[in-house]
Structure 1
């Protein structure tokens, strides 16, 4: 698979990686969830070059993950706000944080604790079945082809459309 072709793959993970799969994009999203909104705030928190930050923010806006909203006219400046599509990345971000807390921590403990506003308790993110509510583990999940899988009529039609767009 070529990096630029990931968006066309009939694989939800490949398509997602095409959008958020580099380290700077993930760290920008981390900052968004920590309520950073302005270019200077991202740059200060991350130490990223202006060019690279501008490129990643444009991509996130183009993908509909962030919304660019002016907050000052002279000079014109913008804030970057998570859209619903961006907010829907929260479980992914929390899963990465949780994995890091468990496997990459040190003797000082977790760098951030997450508190549920409703109950006031610190929590660990847990993945549960949307149908029965039971916790999930990799060993308890079976996959099978869906309508967008390779070899299906839907997949064949999408490949034909992609080829005609490229031509």
Structure 2
């Protein structure tokens, strides 16, 4: 599905056009959570640390733009799960690039890598990509197994516990 910008948003610049869809922090964090396997509203909200209104708006926009598909999992009460479409899945290399940039330039040297991947085809740590540092193949989402470092896992567990305790 190709995005057709509104007449007032038309530009030939692909960076500007992509920015119109995924250009705010919350949208990227929502996409991160979907890639991490969180598909339910409350799971995404807890990890994103956003208000229900802001999350609902981002999910609606992502659905309208074709990156996310909403599927019901309960009729009473009505509840939905959110899944990445082909267009949404294509965002993965961008998320990997943001991860690599953040790990390289934003963190202190004392901090561990937050998410370690194993490149399934070769069984090695692929590094920060976009190609595996061990075998040279492109890092594809379906060929990566993620594990969180203890600190990041504890941070996420604490967010979930705080959210459930409200």
* TM-score, length-scaled by structure 2: 0.71
Cα RMSD (Å) of the superposition?
Answer: 2.0
Deviations 1:31-84 (A, max 9, x none): 111111000001111110000000000000000000000011110100000000
| Structure 2: gaps of 5 or more residues | 1-5, 139-166
Alignment correspondent of 1:66: 68
Alignment equivalent of 1:57, drawn from 52, 56, 59: 59
Residues of 2 paired with 1:114 and 1:29: CA distance? 18
SS at match of 1:68: strand
The reply to whether residue 102 of structure 1 matches residue 80 of structure 2 is no
CA distance in 1, matches of 2:15, 2:61: 18
Equivalent-residue separation in structure 2 for 1:119 and 1:32 (angstroms) = 26
* Matched length: 126
* Structure 1 stretches lacking a partner, 5+ long: 128-132, 136-167
Q: Which protein has greater RCO, CA pairs closer than 8 Å, 6+ apart? A: 2
Which of 38, 45, 51 aligns to 1:36? It is 38
* Residue 77 of structure 1, aligned match among 53, 76, 79: 79
Aligned twin of 1:118:
121
Point out the structure with max Rg over C-alpha: 1
Tell me the CA shift for residue 110 of structure 1. 1.0
Structure with greater strand share of residues = 2
Aligned-partner SS, 1:24:
helix
Q: Where do 4+ consecutive residues of structure 1 move more than 2 Å? A: 4-7
